[in-house]
Structure 1
Amino acid sequence: MHTIPHRSGRFCDCRRGRTLLHMVIGPSFDSVLASAQTGAEWAWEVLYHDLAGQVLGYLRSRGASDPEDRLGDVFLQLARNIGTFKGDEAAFRSWVFMVAHHRLIDERRKRSRHREHLIGEDQELDAISDPRQSAEAEAMTDLATRDIRQSLKGLSHDQRDVLTLRIIGGLTVTEIAHILRKRPGAVKALQRRGLNALRKELAKDVPL
């Protein structure tokens, strides 16, 4: 029976936009990865435990229509391709979030094609004006994620991508630049502008 390795982490607060627990496997990562690549169930449990919560939070905060399904898609792709992965834990986490980001892009493209189809059939207003759909989605989303999505609502698409990968994913500027295919300087600028916009928005909610 294999003993699941100890994990450490740093504490951040997701619900207030500044906290989330980013777990770190640490020195045992190489052993966990090698075992996962051979299909060891215990190793996949470690990877899922350490990453699923953050990836799910990222998918929710970026508006995935069914975050749990998308999370399953992400881990299915990891299972298919993990044998080709080479790198340390930081590189692995970056790779996982890149997979999640690509799943979001695929979903957005499908949504866009579907909207075009609805417009062609004059059904767009029916799809948009049904309040039950948005109410159900709201009820299925936990309070913490709703707070994050609300705070990010006024930002540009790129700013939201950068800040969610930073706040929820705990990724570095370099890792985010690789995922979004942008220069690190551009990512820093998006982060700075996004944070400035968030501060102004949050300041409006502070009682005088």
Structure 2
Amino acid sequence: MTQKIEPHMDTDEALMLDYGKGDQAAFRALYARHKGPLYRYVCRQLGTNHHSTAQELFQEVWLRVIDNRTRYKVEAKFNTWLYRIAHNLLIDEQRKLAARGEHLSLVNDEQGESDHIPIASNQAHQENTLHNKYLQQAIKHCVELLVPQQREAFLLRHEAGFEPSQVCDIVEAKPETVKTRLRYAMSQLRECLQRKTGITELGGERQV
């Protein structure tokens, strides 16, 4: 799935190679670029009751980056490599939770799946409601109700902006498997949003 990437100046890959040679400023630049999206990805995968675990896992991802700085090779985009580290750590953590008989609480207890989230009545066009705070809340809630593999595929593709081939590399799954997860995720999201808001389509979808 991976192919040789030629790094250019100031790209993530070039910065990581520079960091491997001892350039601390290169690491700071990488961290600044990716800390926000990566932290959101980890938090949304672990759920609302595991914030402290998410923080620890987020830190562990960057420790793995530090530990592998001299062994890093440009075999894929840096962010693909970074999120694959996070994915593997998340899988390990989810197995630990399952072994302890715990589950991921992805929605607040007081907000049941059947709760209706209203949409402001003065919206002129349905596409504009995507930016409405109520719809954003509904979308977030519905995403959190997806099963972990579907939720991860959706977040990587539609929130983090990875291409399907990159999603395959991150989760180490075949293209058809990823396509199936994305297709089921979109179907579940449409059904959930229709129940909550009456909206039947998601605006701005990326091709899966």
Normalised to the residue count of structure 1, the TM-score between the two structures is 0.66
Q: SS of the residue aligned with 2:85?
A: helix
Change (3 A) 1:157 1:51: same
Q: SS of the residue aligned with 1:84?
A: coil
Corresponding residue of 2:42: 59
2:21 to 33, 38, 50: 38
Report how far residue 177 of structure 1 moved. 1.4
Q: Deviations over 1:32-59 (max 9, x none)?
A: 2222112322111110011111110101
Change (3 A) 1:179 1:73: same
Aligned residues: 161
Q: SS of the residue aligned with 1:205?
A: helix
Identity of aligned residues (%): 23
The residue correspondences of 1:1-208 to structure 2 (distance < 5 A) are 27-29=9-11, 30-63=13-46, 65=50, 66=52, 67-87=54-74, 91-115=77-101, 150-206=141-197
Q: Separation in 2 of the partners of 1:75 and 1:134? A: 32
Report how far residue 169 of structure 1 moved. 2.6
Kindly provide the amino acid, as one letter, of the partner of residue 184 in structure 1. Answer: P
Corresponding residue of 2:119: none
Any conservation in 2 of the 1:97–1:169 contact (CA below 8 Å)?
A: no
Q: Separation in 1 of the partners of 2:88 and 2:14? A: 27
Any conservation in 2 of the 1:61–1:148 contact (CA below 8 Å)?
A: no
Q: Separation in 1 of the partners of 2:137 and 2:56? A: 19
RMSD: 3.1
Kindly provide the amino acid, as one letter, of the partner of residue 186 in structure 2. Answer: L
Kindly provide the amino acid, as one letter, of the partner of residue 167 in structure 1. Answer: H
Q: Which has a greater percent of helix?
A: 1
Q: Separation in 2 of the partners of 1:71 and 1:146? A: 24
Q: Separation in 2 of the partners of 1:97 and 1:91? A: 10
Normalised to the residue count of structure 2, the TM-score between the two structures is 0.66
Q: Separation in 1 of the partners of 2:137 and 2:81? A: 26
Kindly provide the amino acid, as one letter, of the partner of residue 60 in structure 2. Answer: D
Can you give the 5+ residue segments of structure 1 that lack an aligned partner in the other structure? 1-24, 117-127, 136-144
Q: Separation in 2 of the partners of 1:87 and 1:35? A: 12
When structure 1 is superposed on structure 2, of 93-102 and 63-72 the one drifting more is 63-72
Q: Which has a greater percent of strand?
A: 1
TM superposition outliers: structure 1 runs of 4+ over 3 Å: 145-149
